[in-house]
């Protein structure tokens, strides 16, 4: 009988020891699970931060060119011969404009023909634009005045401006309000603004102007000096847009390189027909 009591006591002690060890093991597992969960959260947060800082700082590149035909100068602007002579003598003309959208700002490079006689001289100017979300501020990329500047008034002019989400070509002209002044005399003329085109710097809003490839460029080389048209097709991260208004004599072309999409493609290496860029395709039969 005494042996049974001893055995029962030993079993009770062993059971108590196992119970204590089980409780301790359970607490250890819960602590480890909590630590693993917290570590997973920290790792996920670190991955998000690494992804944020690893994004391409240069996100998009826009290249704009536009043409103003004779119809624009004669019918839209109704420019006078004296003003046209001043423009030809002192005005500069845009060749192309490159807009780089960085994460912190926009950078513009304006390539233009300088005024002067003889051989045309090209120059490229660079401007930086830091848009303020709380303000509707603008950056003037190019201005073409039709007369000399005086202290009394601002001459009529064309102005290409950059805002946070668009590029706009504006005109500033004298306008006579219909109202009469208090003494019965006609009111003094005021400067009125007119918009000729506004190009959004947003792929969704540009979709209506999309073209399958860039406008045909004329290329030549030493082996074949005869110019030949070349078409550059769009890739997964390269898009082309254009618009032509024959009635007003206005035409523009815009190229977009979306480097965020390019970085995503290079990361995942997803190959499909749309993602393979075609450098050029000769449109002339061999």
* Number of Cβ within a 10 Å radius of residue 64: 22
pLDDT tens for each residue of 204-227: 899 999 987 666 544 434 444 444
Is 283 strand, coil or helix? coil
For 223, the token pair is: 């082996």
- DSSP 8-state class, residue 26: H
Split at pLDDT 50, 70, 90, the class of 75 is confident
Question: In terms of DSSP bridges, do strands 281-282 and 217-219 run parallel, antiparallel, or are they unpaired?
Answer: unpaired
For 53, the token pair is: 């800082």
Measured in whole angstroms, the distance separating CA 244 from the mean position of its chain's CA atoms is 21
For the entire predicted model, the pTM comes to: 0.64
Q: What angle do CA 62, 120, 117 make, to 5 degrees?
A: 140
The Cα 58–Cα 60 span in angstroms is 6
Q: Are 268 and 237 in contact, with CB atoms under 8 Å apart?
A: no
> In 127-285, which residue ranges form alpha helices assigned H by DSSP?
203-206, 259-268
Q: Are 97 and 64 in contact, with CB atoms under 8 Å apart?
A: yes
Measured in whole angstroms, the distance separating CA 53 from the mean position of its chain's CA atoms is 20
Is 35 strand, coil or helix? helix
pLDDT tens for each residue of 93-142: 898 999 999 988 899 999 998 876 566 688 999 999 988 777 777 899 99
Is 147 strand, coil or helix? coil
- The better pLDDT of the pair 64, 120 is held by 64
Least confident of 53-57, 142-146, 198-202: 53-57
pLDDT tens for each residue of 13-34: 767 766 777 777 777 777 777 7
pLDDT tens for each residue of 83-95: 888 888 888 889 8
The Cα 246–Cα 232 span in angstroms is 24
pLDDT tens for each residue of 244-284: 999 999 999 999 988 877 766 666 554 443 433 433 333 33
- DSSP 8-state class, residue 184: S
Burial class (CB in 10 A: 0-12, 13-18, 19+), 223: exposed
The number of residues in the chain equals 286
């Amino acid at each position: 009988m005494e042996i049974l009591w001893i055995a029962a006591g030993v079993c009770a002690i062993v059971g108590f020891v196992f119970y204590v060890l089980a409780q301790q093991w359970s607490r250890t597992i819960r602590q480890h699970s909590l630590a693993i969960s917290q570590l997973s959260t920290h790792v996920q947060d670190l991955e998000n931060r690494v992804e944020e800082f690893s994004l391409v700082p240069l996100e998009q590149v826009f290249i704009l060119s536009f043409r103003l035909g004779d119809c624009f100068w004669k019918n839209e602007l109704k420019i006078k011969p004296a003003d046209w002579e001043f423009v030809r003598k002192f005005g500069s003309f845009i060749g192309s404009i490159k807009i780089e959208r960085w994460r912190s700002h926009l950078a513009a490079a304006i390539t233009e023909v300088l005024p002067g006689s003889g051989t045309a001289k090209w120059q490229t100017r660079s401007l930086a634009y830091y848009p303020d979300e709380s303000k509707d501020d603008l950056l003037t990329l190019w201005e073409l005045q039709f007369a000399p500047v005086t202290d009394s008034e601002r001459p009529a002019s064309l102005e290409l401006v950059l805002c946070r989400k668009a590029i706009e070509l504006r005109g500033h002209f004298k306008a006579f309000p219909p109202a009469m002044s208090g003494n019965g005399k006609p009111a003094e003329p005021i400067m009125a603004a007119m918009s000729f085109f506004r190009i959004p710097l947003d792929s969704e809003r540009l979709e209506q102007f999309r073209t399958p490839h860039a406008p045909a460029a004329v290329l030549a080389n030493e082996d074949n000096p005869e110019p030949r048209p070349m078409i550059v097709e769009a890739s997964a991260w390269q898009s082309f847009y254009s618009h032509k208004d024959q009635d007003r004599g206005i035409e523009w072309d815009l190229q977009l390189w979306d480097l965020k999409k390019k970085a995503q493609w290079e990361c995942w290496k997803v190959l499909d027909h749309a993602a393979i860029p075609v450098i050029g395709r000769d449109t002339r039969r061999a």
